Amino acid sequence: MSKTILITGASSGFGRDTAQMLAQAGHRVFASMRDVADRNRPHAEALHAKGIHVVELDVTDDISVERGVTFVLEQAGCLDVLVNNAGIGSAGVSEAFTTEQVRALFDVNVLGIQRTLRAVLPAFRHQGEGLVINIGSILGRVTFPFFGLYGASKFAIEALTDSYRYELSQLGVEVVLVQPSNYPTNIFANAQRPGDVARGLDYGELGGIIPGKMVETLMDLFESENAPNPHDVAEAIARIVERPNGTRPARLVVGQAFGADAMNGQALSVQAEFMEALGLAQLAEPRMGPAAA
């Protein structure tokens, strides 16, 4: 059954690949991005040529998000799925990042999700059904040194996703978290680097060499014959979209887990006990929306 789907951060990477795959599967896809008429114009034109609708939407701007979602609802008449994919990376000595850099990181990776949810959820609640897919990371479960600030933003998405899943479960709206591993996209190639270079130099070899070597190792892996295929993520998202309401997992690791899958299992058990103790166990079981009734 064809669905109307909005994807944020769809100019490249997971977002673009997912937009193209879902459109090929027969869904009506709205790929959103910033600077449609300028920096991202080639990407917008390429997607449009494939029959994908392109929407100007900046997840760091409340007005832009509201305008973009309103446009989708006016054009399509409804919205079935929101894929919160927009994000930026960060790599380096944590202390050497300025407060402004960290604020910008969280503005995209965390507040951007809050903005899109506030814009979309009134329509989902009115319909009595909808699907939210948040793109997190295994670094929201396990911590790599020098990627801690990026990981912190993804840890925040873990809590945000769980809370929304519980709060929306009886309203017909499902919330799923996808946790990709390391894949060759632009997110780390274009990641933030520390703004306070001198502070990083105070760490000596630890701060001056190791972070760069870690990124270099990733880049080498991505260019090798054994490079992980980022299309895995698009395929995982497509499978989630196709599954019947009420059967979707709360979380899904895609790629090498580095223990994140084990931590997911432990957290699921702890959360279930906690919700039971609070007398809120029913919120862990989604109520079926109209399409699944």
Residues belonging to the active site: 150, 154
Phi, psi of 173 (to 5 degrees): -110, 125
Identify whether the C-beta of residue 136 lies closer than 8 Å to the C-beta of residue 162. Answer: no
Residue 113: alpha-carbon gap to chain centroid:
8
Identify whether the C-beta of residue 227 lies closer than 8 Å to the C-beta of residue 181. Answer: no
* DSSP label of 185: S
Angstrom distance (rounded) from CA 245 to CA 251: 15
Beta bridge partners of 5: 29, 81
Beta bridge partners of 179: 253
Q: Is 31 helix (H, G, I), strand (E, B) or coil?
A: strand
| Matching residue, tokens 């300025």 | 98
